[in-house]
Structure 1
Amino acid sequence: MSAARILVADDEPLLRAELIDALARLWPEAAITEAGDGIEALRQARATAFDVAFLDIRMPGLDGLELARVFGARTHVVFVTAYGEHALDAFDEGAVDYVLKPIGMERLARALERARSRLAARDVEADAPHLSAHAKPAPSWLQATVGTTIHFIDLADVVYFCADAKYTRVVTDKLEAHIRLSLKELGETLDPNAFWQIHRGYTVGVRRIASAARAEDGALWLHLRGHPARLPVSQRFQHLFRGM
């Protein structure tokens, strides 16, 4: 807890500075990093695994809701905004709290306490992994079938996964096989730094992404390294490729 890392992202310099000052007083042991817009926040997050992020919702380049989707469960998000109409969307993204500007110290302290409680619960799970399935490390291999043959596939060899009815198709450079899990169920077991969902029907190995190109109709497509497939990127996941 003493080494907690906090990100503050807000495009209004004065409000950002006031929030940083208040957080420093409420949690002096924390290391605080600031970002002036969504793209800068994304770059910071790629370099540092933040424990807590205080995000403005309306920012240039990438808004707070899009950032929260990128962070996922690894970062506890508190939205700080002047607008109340995004509250339902914020909590759909798993927000710890939703604080309206201008922020009072007492209200900020309550939000911070909620975030610290989440961090404390995570630390308990990490110390006792047998108590929570979420504390299990991501697998390094999986079993998939081709006809009547079961293949043991190293996840490092996977180019991408594709939803296929009630199953998921596993594509490597050498074979295509199926596993008896939906893409959503599979995604809950994968390392989010190694695999990105880019479409409701596709999850791709990050190290196999060669480029992202926009077609004339505005659709975004991924070109893969060493593989001929082109994969579509839906609007919901296009923020992953901004500012790269």
Structure 2
Amino acid sequence: MSGVDASGPLRALVADDERLLREQLKSRLADVWPDLVICGEARDGQDAVNQAEALRPDVVFLDIRMPALTGLEAAREIVTLPNWDGEIVFVTAYDEYAVAAFEQGALDYLLKPVEAERLAQTAQRLKGRLASRRNRLADAAPAADDAALDALLEKFMRAQQSVQRPGGAAAEPPLRWVQCAVGSTTRLINVKDVLFFRSDEKYTRVQTRDQEALIRTPIRELLPRLDEQQFWQIHRSTIVNVEAIAAVTRDDSGRQRVQINGHPEVLEVSRSFSHLFRAF
């Protein structure tokens, strides 16, 4: 099925343009599936296709958003490789509207940041499918699996295109995590845990209940990528998580200030954004 000894260990290719995310996925795979051999890593979609052709892994973990080729485009090429009979798992930041495309069993998906419990479920499903494939006759119609995979890719494409921005451009899903510098360490922070973002000279400060981190993305570029129902800009240099707001006060001059749950910092609301808190 993959051009290697069918009695040998199962092998996987991990494709993601973010090195930290590749390392995180490999680490969690080692925990939940220690017998799986990571035979290669790819930094873009075309590299994933090339390595899949050369290495013939049993499983390819494909990030959806990659340069050169997207994960969807790479998957289309991989499933047309001669005698391809492996499994593809998408690793995606897309939420429920796209996830529904994968729920028919021939594919699996993982939402970023990848959670160990969800990955363990994926590993169990993959083990079962791959064991069945290794036990069947070599000519037991792999084309039927390819057809099912191709149909699901089409379904995913339609689900992705069904959400449109004004002007016809496809809407991107809200940002789910940020890659931040905490001292000399790079960490992933789930966006839902962020209390507020605040410009800090050349950087943007990311504040959670437990830590302060820095990213290079300016506020003006960060705002369109956040869920507008959850994050409000209250100042040209500040974006706040609405769920983290404890109270809004107003001083004698009419200036509003936001108090944050579980954090002592008080955030100023500029006059151009004061309409957000008319009820206060």
| TM-score of the aligned structures, taking structure 1 as reference length | 0.49
Which has the greater radius of gyration?
A: 2
